[in-house]
């Protein structure tokens, strides 16, 4: 009986240690989530405004022609997908959701050769396990991706797309809407959607701006400058959303682990008390029986 109580006490101590670790990790994830959310929230208005300005320029009576739109590109028969995953685990189903969505997209487009590039050790481990060849692994991105690194990657993608190496470039990542909602998404980064589609939206009755602008330099020249910026800001927003989604998932996972450890500790404590009370009762009965036998 004494051995059993020692075993339960040891398990209670181990669960308590785990609870303290998961609680600490939850606090760290919460702090990182708040920092990542501020970064993502700060960059999103700029990204949206750039896209709005591009649509406004394309509606200024200009015929939009640009290599990033891919309108005159010859089919290359292959595309590129960048998969954004985390470097560390303990973030619930975050990586699983992104990778399942990426695999579903690849299955839908199995008739076209797709090169895979990965950010994050979890994605690299997954594709190595499944036997899928990885065309590139980007280890320069950490918990806080810098715009300079993302810009360099975007320029590389634009150069390779414009030279006709790929028909399209897609980004598989976790899109962040709110703390309670993150959606695994595959975004088409290149070719960019034709910004003149804004005119079709205006014809469909959606509210548009009634402000008339005078552009200097000409809208076509401005578009040549803004379209590459649009690609860079979209890619940077994907990285920011992915970081926020990862920290949210880790924060929730560590909170659930802490709560589960707390419940287990209480359950083991009740079992320990029952076993200990049983042992005390047994010892008392032995003492009473011995005293009665002596009498």
**HEC-encoded secondary structure of 188-217:** EEECCCCCCHHHHHHHCCCCCCCCCCCCCC
What is the domain extent for residue 269?
2-28+252-294
| CATH value at residue 75 | 3.40.1380.10
Phi, psi of 138 (to 5 degrees): -105, 105
Tell me the pLDDT tens digit for each residue of 203-261: 444 444 555 666 667 666 777 788 899 999 999 999 999 999 999 999 999 999 999 99
**In this structure, what token pair is assigned to residue 66?**
């640009």
Q: Are residues 228 and 272 in the same domain?
A: no
User: Quick one: pLDDT at residue 206?
Assistant: 46
Q: Which pTM was predicted?
A: 0.82
Please state the domain count of the chain. Answer: 2
Mean pLDDT of 113-119: 95
Q: Are residues 85 and 197 in the same domain?
A: yes
Pick 197 or 266 by higher pLDDT: 266
User: With bands split at pLDDT 50, 70 and 90, how would you rate the model's confidence at 292?
Assistant: confident
Q: Are residues 113 and 49 in the same domain?
A: yes
| CATH value at residue 23 | 1.10.287.80
User: Quick one: pLDDT at residue 240?
Assistant: 93
**Closest residue by Cα to residue 189 from 221, 219, 163, 156:** 156
Q: Are residues 22 and 33 in the same domain?
A: no
Tell me the pLDDT tens digit for each residue of 55-77: 777 655 455 567 787 766 677 78
Average pLDDT, rounded, for the chain: 85
């Amino acid at each position: 009986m004494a051995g059993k109580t020692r075993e339960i006490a040891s398990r209670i101590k181990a669960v308590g240690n785990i609870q303290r670790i998961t609680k600490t990790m939850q606090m760290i994830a919460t702090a990182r989530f708040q920092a990542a959310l501020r970064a993502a929230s700060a960059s999103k208005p700029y990204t949206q405004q750039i896209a709005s300005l591009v649509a406004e320029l394309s509606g200024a009576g200009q015929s939009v022609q640009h290599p990033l739109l891919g309108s005159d590109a010859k089919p290359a028969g292959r595309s590129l997908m960048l998969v954004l995953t985390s470097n560390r685990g303990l973030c619930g189903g975050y990586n699983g959701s992104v990778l399942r969505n990426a695999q579903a997209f690849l299955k839908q487009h199995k008739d076209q050769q797709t090169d895979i590039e990965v950010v994050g050790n979890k994605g690299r481990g997954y594709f190595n396990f499944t036997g899928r060849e990885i065309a590139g692994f980007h280890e320069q991105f950490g918990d806080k991706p810098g715009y300079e690194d993302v810009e360099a990657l975007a320029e590389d993608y634009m150069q390779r797309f414009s030279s006709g190496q790929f028909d399209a470039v897609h980004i598989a990542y976790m899109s962040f809407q709110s703390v309670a909602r993150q959606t695994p998404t595959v975004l088409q980064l290149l070719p960019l959607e034709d910004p003149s589609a804004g005119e079709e939206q205006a014809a469909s009755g959606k509210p548009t701006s009634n402000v008339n602008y005078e552009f200097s330099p000409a809208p076509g020249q401005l578009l040549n400058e803004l379209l590459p910026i649009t690609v860079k800001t979209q890619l940077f927003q994907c990285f920011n959303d992915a970081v926020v989604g990862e920290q949210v998932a880790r924060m929730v996972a560590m909170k659930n682990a802490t709560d589960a450890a707390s419940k287990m500790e209480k359950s083991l404590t009740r079992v320990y008390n029952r076993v200990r009370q049983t042992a005390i009762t047994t010892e008392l009965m032995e003492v009473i029986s011995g005293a009665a036998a002596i009498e």
